[in-house]
Structure 1
Amino acid sequence: MKFTRTALTMAAAATALVVGLQSPAMASDSYHVMNTGDAFGGGVFDYSGEAYFTEHGDIIKICDTDADGYAVKMWVNLDDGYGPTLYTFTRGGEGNCATHRASEGGKYDLPEKRYIGFLFCRYKDGHESECAAYKFYNDF
């Protein structure tokens, strides 16, 4: 079978494209974005809080993204958003964030090969509202 230079170049380019597309997709499987269960204000996606979970290193970051007088609170649970609680943390004030990671040890080093649940809410005066529940399989 005879291959022309053009055919070989096109095959190499297609292979490079496929390999290049796979890496970001695999990386994104271990990085998750979460929001509180509200969307008030002028924007379509104007949530009170935003959170990030990175499986590699068990990094959880929460941020208060709205000057609404509410803080945000995250419950980190086993199995799903309403499972047994591992820990909680709160952050208030627009633009303020808090982070916990496995390197802190103890409760912050989340179990592997298990679902981790998150309940992310607006929080004020000891009461939560507009919660959103998430769960991700922690396999890193």
Structure 2
Amino acid sequence: MKISKRTRAVGVLATAFALTFGFSGSAMAADHTMNTGDAWGAFGYSGKGEFTEYGDIVKICDIDADGYAVHMRVALDDAYGSLLYNTWVGGEGNCITHRASEGGKLNLPEGKYIGFQFCRYKAEKTSECKNYRFLNDN
């Protein structure tokens, strides 16, 4: 069976469309960005984080080869509220992501404020923290 040039072109365009728009959910930009509280002057942060309300996606990354990991405390209402969960990751370039679809404590309550405390972490101690508070309304 011979395929026409027009049919082939339509197939190529459909594939390009699917690759461009079909995976957009996984590449969706975060609603909120966060960082550790250690940046000053010409020096950058040790960690960066993101919170996407739809799907309760929390991602943190260690972005500095400083011997420290990064730690995030996720709590109800504000950074010092009732603990929902802790997460941490170490090693420059390493990231960890949690989603509501994993269930349990990772499924954050809707319509409530969620607090985040994002810190450097070493020897079971946190330092240079920065606190955030976002309404989880999606």
Normalising by structure 2, we get a TM-score of 0.77
Q: CA RMSD in A?
A: 1.6
What's the counterpart of residue 117 of structure 1? 115
| Percent of aligned pairs with the same amino acid | 64
Q: 1:51 to 1:107 in 2, by over 3 A?
A: same
Q: 1:68 aligns with which of 57, 63, 66?
A: 66
**Structure 2: distance between partners of 1:58 and 1:69:** 29
What's the counterpart of residue 104 of structure 2? 106
Q: Does residue 92 of the first structure (1) align with residue 87 of the second (2)? A: no
Q: 1:79 aligns with which of 68, 77, 80?
A: 77
Q: How does 1:1-140 map to 2 (within 5 A)?
A: 31-39=31-39, 42-43=42-43, 46-140=44-138
Contact 1:40/1:48 (8 A) holds in 2: no
Gaps of 5+ in 1: 1-26
**Structure 1: distance between partners of 2:106 and 2:72:** 13
Q: Which moved more, 1:75-84 or 1:34-43?
A: 34-43
What's the counterpart of residue 17 of structure 2? none
The amino acid across from 2:114 in the alignment is I
Contact 1:80/1:115 (8 A) holds in 2: yes
**Structure 1: distance between partners of 2:62 and 2:83:** 21
**Once superposed, which parts of structure 1, at least 4 consecutive aligned residues long, lie more than 6 Å away?**
none
Query: What secondary structure, in the 3-state scheme, does the structure 2 residue paired with 1:88 have?
Result: strand
Gaps of 5+ in 2: 1-27
Higher helix share: 1
